[in-house]
Amino acid sequence: MTLTSEVFTQATETDPAIQARAVIRTGQQRLLAALRPKVALLTELELGADAREAALAALTDFCTGSVRCHLNATDQALYAPAAGLPETHLLIRALRTAATVLDQDIDALTRTDNAHRAKTIAQSIEALLATHLAVEQAVLLPALTALPGIEPATLAADFTTLLDGGRLDRPAILDVGRDVTDG
């Protein structure tokens, strides 16, 4: 017998997979909504040296903090559970490669003192992140919800926990899809 609290209509607002995707999408939208004005301030206005330095510092702080936190949360909560599965292995590898490129742009932003270069990097970060999040929404999340043994509500809860600065209570799991480098 099914409990009434477990009854839902698939592909509607009561579907746990739809609810989980909405939670993750909300986190993604907040990230982009916070990033875009910081990028615009640096790239679209002709600022004086002091104001430009302040705008660059604010963008850099946001990218090294919130953007990297989001990338880490996504990797741990969404990529790791699907990395070793044949259905999603290549997708996860591609998303991790894109996240690495984004992380490299953030590193470059932290090191630049050239205003033109900072604008270019800021625009690249915004474009890469927007595309990356769109692929997660359009491809990754539907793939995850279709996998056996994956609980969308758990993924969303883990994602939210990590974004809020928490840690996951999991035993160490070998993520066979993660590249390991010497060092």
Tokens of 135: 């692929």
The residue ranges of the chain whose pLDDT is under 70 are: 1-15, 170-183
Whole-number pLDDT of residue 174? 53
* DSSP state letters, 56-125: HHHHHHHIIIIIHHHHHHHIIIIIHHHTTSTTTHHHHHHHHHHHHHHHHHHHHHHH---HHHHHHHHHHH
Whole-number pLDDT of residue 9? 46
**Which of 145, 168, 160, 161 is closest to 30 using CA atoms?**
160
Whole-number pLDDT of residue 7? 42
Whole-number pLDDT of residue 14? 62
- Single-letter amino acid, residue 109: L
Q: What is the pLDDT of residues 146-167, one digit of tens each?
A: 888 888 888 899 999 999 988 8
Whole-number pLDDT of residue 20? 85
Q: What is the dihedral of CA 61, 40, 128, 21, to 10 degrees?
A: 80
